[in-house]
Chains A and B, each alone.
Chain A
């Protein structure tokens, strides 16, 4: 009796091979349909500038086999690790086949085969272990251990971030560390700051903003124009305004734009609000492109002054930073200085956010996010609440923009496209809306992950010399957005820490919180 019930349960849970084959065959057929014209035939211009078709049937075959295997594994196996190991292993094998047929069957191809086979073997071994435990989930021991060390993770991470430039300098030397501090450190910190700024609008107030990059652009252009055009040409008596004077002005200007753009859209909610903010972001970018007298159009603004260290410039002159402190001149000092500037700006954003959540306005934001009608019924002024969220979010975007202009020394409308807005929004949502830690994790994963792509030169060995991993950066970014949403629709950190509570704080799973409209 019990055995038959168990068998019935097993047959329901574990589909037969025939079913899995049917599913996989269907998926492969769909893949064939998807790839038939657009992957199979590549349009190329020949010498007479005419379009000709170049067939690539092998790629279609590989794609169909890949989809077939992935779907088969997905249907047959329930355990997540088994699936991952088997899929990665079979794709590695496919990569080896592609290389062996496309280029040469040499030692490297054999190596790829071996790695793929090892991964598949590991997958089957793991599945055997799961079967032996008869479905009982392996105890997540590391999770318990993690909760014990959790209070120390935050300070430890902060400490690591604080000594990161020194660490990079020590490990990779003066020449190599610029890349690690600039491309990874500063780049990720800019996105963390933008994410924390947008978090005020999206995460706390629940207003979906798809045009956040507009405020980033306002901040950047404010500093660039103030420092290179407005003050020297229009008000020459005021002298030269440095980065430190322009920084607050850029933030205030961006906040004003936040109020200006926020005012008309107060009545809108959800998707509509998202689309209107997208339109505003695009309008600002198009005006920057077309109003050449104002912004110099596509050519952008160059020779933006770099920030100085309390009045000491970072250059090779006798009054420069290196000479004053008796060091040998190197561009690394400026990079390290910029790293700490953006670190301070980002921490300021986090600090302000944390403190504001305890003020009435912060609580009003969160109430607005959860239910706008209830919020209004309780006498909260929703107009002011929304506008302060827009203005503060925009202000931090403006600070980040001002820093960006100072760091690059050159800005053009190309830097402020919709994809940037999407990237910042993705960081906020994928991290878990409202979670400061989530933003950090998502920034490191997305921005850092794509910087890593530049380092993956070994992939050229598999796919040929013309293969350029950075080409796939945005493609993978879009794919990651979809996959993370499917995997964790609430984002990576989906628990909510309440700011107001009775006796003790209990974190709430995000899926238990119903967000209202707004």
Chain B
């Protein structure tokens, strides 16, 4: 029971991170029908930007952890958004409406480029950071079988909840959100009605990257380490989350993220930790084969 509760808490924390990345996949897929293969690496770049900014604020400017973290979140979102904006502008926009495979190949190229760019520019070693937030609540149990809720886990879940609220407001209530949903339904019609489609798509990439950058901050906070190769596996897992929840569906992405997080931690606790990535990849394959619309997705109608 204690093990289960502990894994539940860990799984929800991890799931929050995956969910935030998954939103970026699902939004981009919804609006231009493309798997943004480089999104996992954008998340990794966000993690590195957060690491450097955090060190600047704490070690150079001597700020306390909390104001530093708030500044890192805001600045990191802006800078990672700029990265994804540039990527879309340079590597994807010229290929819109082109040959079917072209944007995907370009995205794979961007993914390889980003990972190796960070490797060259920041060095290939892991970057460990002393824990930002220490301490925890002991919820129940004694001795070796305790259920612990760490402060950093609370912070991660609270930030995720707040961000998802803001994000929901943005998509449902603002002009930008309306434009975005309109583009998702019918890009040509939206353009005829005076929506700047290119700008909307750009902003979608910026928002997706901003959420991924927050996920990067949390990843850094949770594991205390980031490396150039950390984009690929979390990226594929977040994509799995987006597919599991139903690609194109925003609540689905969050739900899928939480599910993937839970499955991964439970698998590690009850089976073998060696095969946890195999479990995630298998879920991806099984979902796509047997439930291609996901849990909350709409079935794709094929028009001839």
Contact = CB atoms under 8 A, between A and B. Distances in A.
Interface string A7-20: 00000000000000
B91 A51 contact: no
Contacts of A279: 236, 281-282, 284-285
Contacts of A278: 236
B120 A38 contact: no
B109 A44 contact: no
Interface in B278-303: 278, 281-282, 284-285, 288-289, 292, 302
A265 interface: yes
A41 B304 contact: no
B195 interface: no
Interface stretch (A115-123, A241-249, A390-398, A468-476): A468-476
B128 A42 contact: no
Given A45-B125, A53-B56, A478 B113 contact: yes
A39 B127 CA distance: 15
A349 interface: no
Contact of B116 (A38, A433, A474): A474
Nearest to B51: A43
Interface string A507-518: 000110001000
Given A37-B56, A271-B104, A477 B79 contact: no
B236 A486 contact: no
Interface in A241-266: 264-265
Contacts of A43: 51-52, 55, 122-123, 127
A474 B288 CA distance: 30
Interface stretch (B7-15, B94-102, B150-158, B248-256): B94-102
Nearest to A270: B100
Contacts of B118: 38
A143 to B, nearest CB: 23
Nearest to B273: A290
B52 A479 contact: no
Interface size class of A (residues with CB under 8 A): 35 or more
A276 interface: yes
Contacts of A88: none
A445 interface: no
Contacts of A264: 285, 289
Nearest to A473: B116
B108 interface: yes
Contacts of B59: 52-53
Contacts of A425: 105, 108
A37 B117 contact: no
Contact of B45 (A38, A50, A274, A287): A38
Given A43-B55, A482-B106, A489-B99, A34 B82 contact: yes
A382 B101 CA distance: 21
Contacts, number: 175
Nearest to B128: A51
Contacts of B274: 290
Nearest to B284: A279
Contacts of B219: none
B171 interface: no
Given A271-B34, A271-B104, A276 B285 contact: yes
Contact of B106 (A274, A474, A485): A485
Interface residues of B, number: 66
B35 A482 contact: no
A267 B123 CA distance: 43
A250 B284 CA distance: 28
A482 B110 contact: yes
B108 A515 contact: no
Nearest to B304: A373
Contact of A489 (B102, B123, B127, B285): B102
Nearest to B55: A53
B226 to A, nearest CB: 9
B281 A282 contact: yes
A270 B105 CA distance: 12
Contacts of A490: 99, 102
Q: Which residue of A286, A477, A481 has the most chain B CB atoms within 10 A of its CB atom?
A: A481
A324 interface: no
B109 A208 contact: no
B122 A482 contact: no
A489 B95 contact: yes
Interface string A74-107: 0000000000000000000000000000000000
A125 interface: no
A53 B56 CA distance: 8
Nearest to B121: A39
A158 interface: no
Interface string B56-73: 100110000000000000
Given A274-B35, A290-B274, 9 more contacts: A37-B53, A38-B122, A42-B123, A282-B277, A286-B281, A478-B110, A482-B106, A486-B94, A489-B95
Listed from nearest, the 9 A-B pairs whose CB atoms lie closest are A481-B109, A478-B112, A478-B113, A475-B116, A489-B102, A482-B109, A279-B281, A37-B52, A290-B274
Interface of B: 34-35, 45, 48-49, 51-53, 55-56, 59-60, 79, 82-83, 86, 90-91, 94-95, 98-102, 104-106, 108-123, 125, 127-130, 232, 236, 239, 243, 274-275, 277-278, 281-282, 284-285, 288-289, 292, 302, 304
